[in-house]
């Protein structure tokens, strides 16, 4: 059936490989990119309980761009969750948080210690959707968003 082939199509470069993953018990049929299903990636997949497994019959570890992105974004979300770092805040902000939530600390803490205490508290706050929404709507209605109060928004006359 390859009577008209020049032979080039038979070259077995890496681009001919199909992604080695089984996604939700369905064999992925996309062309694999240069990313490979390394031990590190396998760990991420296991940790994030992604429904991916390696098809051992393919004999390589290349995965397609889609699966690379899926795994990457699962990893990114993990990083984002763990990296709320209140140590970057100014001490005034920390103190305001402390007063607002009545976080008890012993007196005379330095900024790092205060941040540690507030971090611990911060992780225990349950997010109540209704409260967040109510506050958001209140802020919008009362023009609390400073971005809307920039000068010159209405003085379109001087733009010529
Ligand atoms: Zn794939």
CA of 7 to the centre of ligand 1 (A): 27
CA of 33 to the centre of ligand 1 (A): 9
CA of 63 to the centre of ligand 1 (A): 5
Model confidence over 37-60: pLDDT tens digits? Answer: 999 999 999 988 999 999 999 889
CA of 27 to the centre of ligand 1 (A): 8
Instruction: Indicate if the pLDDT at residue 159 is higher than 50.
Output: no
CA of 18 to the centre of ligand 1 (A): 8
Instruction: Indicate if the pLDDT at residue 12 is higher than 60.
Output: no
Model confidence over 107-130: pLDDT tens digits? Answer: 888 999 999 998 888 888 777 777
The per-residue pLDDT for 122 is 84
The per-residue pLDDT for 131 is 76
Mean residue pLDDT of the chain comes to: 79
CA of 3 to the centre of ligand 1 (A): 32
CA distances from 22 to 15, 61, 66, 69, 73 (A): 19, 12, 13, 15, 18
Pick the CATH number of 14-82 from 2.60.40.2310, 3.30.565.10, 3.30.930.10, 3.40.1800.30: 3.40.1800.30
Model confidence over 58-96: pLDDT tens digits? Answer: 889 999 999 999 998 888 776 555 556 788 888 899 999
- pTM summary value: 0.44
CA of 82 to the centre of ligand 1 (A): 28
Give the residue extent of every domain in the chain: 14-82, 86-143
Q: For 136, how many CA atoms within 13 A lie in the half-sphere containing its CB?
A: 6
Given a contact cutoff of 8 angstroms between Cβ atoms, the answer to whether 92 and 125 are in contact is no
Q: Is pLDDT larger for residue 91 or for residue 9?
A: 91
């Amino acid at each position: 059936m390859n009577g008209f082939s020049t032979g080039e199509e038979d070259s077995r470069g890496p681009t001919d490989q199909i992604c080695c993953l089984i996604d939700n018990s369905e064999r992925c049929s996309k062309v694999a990119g240069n990313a490979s299903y390394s031990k590190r990636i396998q760990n991420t997949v296991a940790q994030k309980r992604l429904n991916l497994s390696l098809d051992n019959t393919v004999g390589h570890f290349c995965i397609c761009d889609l699966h690379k992105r899926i795994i990457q974004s699962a990893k990114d979300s993990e990083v984002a969750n763990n990296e709320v770092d209140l140590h970057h805040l100014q001490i005034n902000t920390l103190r305001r948080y402390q007063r607002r939530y009545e976080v008890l600390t012993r007196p005379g803490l330095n900024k790092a210690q205060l941040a540690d205490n507030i971090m611990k508290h911060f992780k225990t706050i349950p997010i109540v959707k209704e409260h967040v929404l109510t506050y958001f709507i209140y802020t919008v209605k009362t023009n609390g968003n400073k971005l809307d109060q920039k000068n010159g928004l209405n003085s379109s006359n001087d733009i010529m």
